[in-house]
Structure 1
Amino acid sequence: MPVPSTESNNSPKPEPGSAPPPTPYTVFQNGQIRSIVALCALAGFFSPFSAFTYFPTLEYMTADLGVSLQMMNLTITMFIVVQGIIPAVLGDVADQIGRRPVYLLVLIVYFLACIGLALQRSYPALLVLRMLQSAGSSGTIALGIMVVANLAPPHSRSRYVGAMLSGPNCGPSLGPVIGGVLAERAGWPWIFWLLAILGGFCFAVCLVLLPETCRNVVGNGAYTARGRFNRALVNTLSPRTHKGSPDGGVNLSHNLRRCPNPFTCLKILVRRHDALLLTSNSLFYATYSCFHAGLAPLVMSRYGLNALQAGLCYLAYGVATISSLYLVGKTVMDFDYRATARSCGITINVVSGDDIASFPIERARIRSLGYFIVVGIAATLGFGWAIERHAHLSVPLVMLFVCGVTYTAIFNTCLTLNVDLHPTGTGLASVAASLMRCVAAAVGVAILQPMLDAVGPGWTFTFFACLSGLSVPMLLILRILGPSWRKCSSVNRELGSES
Structure 2
Amino acid sequence: MTDEKQAQSEISPEVEDGSRSPPHEEEVYSIYHGRSKILIVVAASVASLFSPLSANIYLPALDTIADQLHVSNTLINLTVTTYMLFQGLAPAIFAGFADSAGRRPAYIVCFIAYIAANIGLATQRHYAALMVLRCLQSTGSSSTIALANAIVADVVTTAERGVYIGYASAGGVVGLSVGPIIGGLLTQFLGWPSIFWFLTILAGAFFIPLLLFLPETARKIVGNGSQPPPLWNMSPLQLMQQRRSSNAAPPVKTRIHFPNPLKTLVIICDKEVFLILLCNSLVYSSYSAVMTSVTSQLKHLYKFNDVQIGLCFIPAGAGSLLAAYTQGRIADWNYRRHARHLGVAVSKTHRQDLSEFPIEQARCEVIYPLVVVLGLGLIAYGWVLHYGTNLAGPLVLLLLVGYTASATFNIMSVLMVDIYTDSPAMATAAMNLTRCWLGAGASAVILPMIEGMGRGWAFTLIGLLCFVCVPLLMVVSRLGHGWRREKGIRERNRGV
TM-score by length of 2: 0.91
Which residue pairs with 2:279 in the alignment?
280
- What is the CA deviation profile of residues 333-367 of structure 1, one whole-angstrom value per residue up to 9, with x for unaligned ones? 11101101011111113331210111111111112
In 2, Cα distance between the equivalents of 1:329 and 1:375? 18
Does 1:104 pair with 2:105?
no
CA contact (8 A) 1:32 1:238 kept: no
CA distance 1:236–1:466, change in 2 (3 Å): farther
CA distance in 2, matches of 1:299, 1:214: 45
Output one character per residue of 1:149-184: Cα deviation in whole Å (capped at 9) or x when no partner.
101000101111000100111122111111011111
Q: How many residues align?
A: 472
Match of 1:194 in 2: 198
Of residues 148-157 and 364-373 in structure 1, the stretch that sits farther from structure 2 once superposed is: 364-373
Say if 1:210 and 1:237, in contact at 8 Å, map to a contact too: no
Matches within 5 A, 1:316-331: 316-330=315-329
Quote the Cα distance in structure 1 between the aligned partners of 2:442 and 2:164. Answer: 29
Q: Does the CA contact (< 8 Å) of 2:84 and 2:436 recur in 1?
A: yes
Aligned-partner residue type, residue 272 of structure 1: K
In 1, are the aligned partners of 2:162 and 2:414 still within 8 Å (CA)? yes
1:426-456 deviation per Cα after TM superposition (whole angstroms, max 9, x unaligned): 1221111110111111111111111011111
Task: Write the mapping of 1:301-316 to structure 2, written as runs, cut at 5 A.
Answer: 301-316=300-315
Which range is displaced more, 295-304 or 19-28?
A: 19-28
Look up the SS of the partner of 1:367 in the other structure.
Answer: helix
The alignment-based identity, stated in percent, is 35
1:150 partnered with 2:154: yes
Counterpart code for 1:243: A
Q: Does 1:233 align with 2:236?
A: yes
Q: CA deviation at 1:325?
A: 0.9
Matched, 1:414 2:419: no
CA contact (8 A) 1:421 1:492 kept: no
Task: Please tell me whether the aligned partners of residues 286 and 437 of structure 1 are also in contact (alpha carbons under 8 angstroms).
Answer: yes
2:118 corresponding residue in structure 1? 114
Alignment of 1:11-410 (within 5 A): 21-228=25-232, 230-235=233-238, 242-244=248-250, 252=254, 255-256=255-256, 258-330=257-329, 332-410=330-408
On the 8 A contact 2:339/2:345 being kept in 1, the answer is: yes
Cα deviation for residue 259 of structure 1 reads 2.7
Letter in 2 for 1:411: F
d(CA) in 1 for partners of 2:63 and 2:204? 28
Question: For the Cα contact (< 8 Å) 2:102–2:221, is it kept in 1?
Answer: yes
Alignment check: 8 A CA contact 2:42 2:168 kept: yes
Residues 377, 244 of structure 1: alpha-carbon distance in 2 compared, 3 angstrom cutoff? same
**Residues 238, 363 of structure 1: CA spacing in aligned structure 2 closer, same or farther, 3 A cutoff?**
farther
Letter matched to residue 347 of structure 2: N
Note if contact 2:216-2:222 (Cα within 8 Å) is conserved in structure 1.
Answer: yes
When residues 238 and 136 of structure 1 are mapped into structure 2, their CA distance, relative to the original with a 3 A threshold, is farther
The secondary structure found in structure 1 opposite 2:313 is: helix
Cα pair 1:28 1:238 within 8 Å, conserved? no
Q: 1:302 to 1:238 in 2, by over 3 A?
A: farther
Distance in 2 (alpha carbons) for counterparts of 1:302 and 1:144: 39
1:110 CA displacement: 0.6
CA distance in 2, matches of 1:371, 1:439: 26
Distance 1:304 1:354, change over 3 A: same
CA contact (8 A) 2:375 2:465 kept: no
CA shift in 2, pair 1:282/1:394, >3 Å: same
Deviations 1:53-101, CA, capped at 9 Å, x for gaps: 1111111111111111111122112211211211111000111100001
Structure 2 residue identity aligned to 1:220: N
Where structure 2 has 5 or more consecutive residues not aligned to the other structure, the ranges are 1-21
By how many angstroms is 1:235 displaced? Answer: 4.3
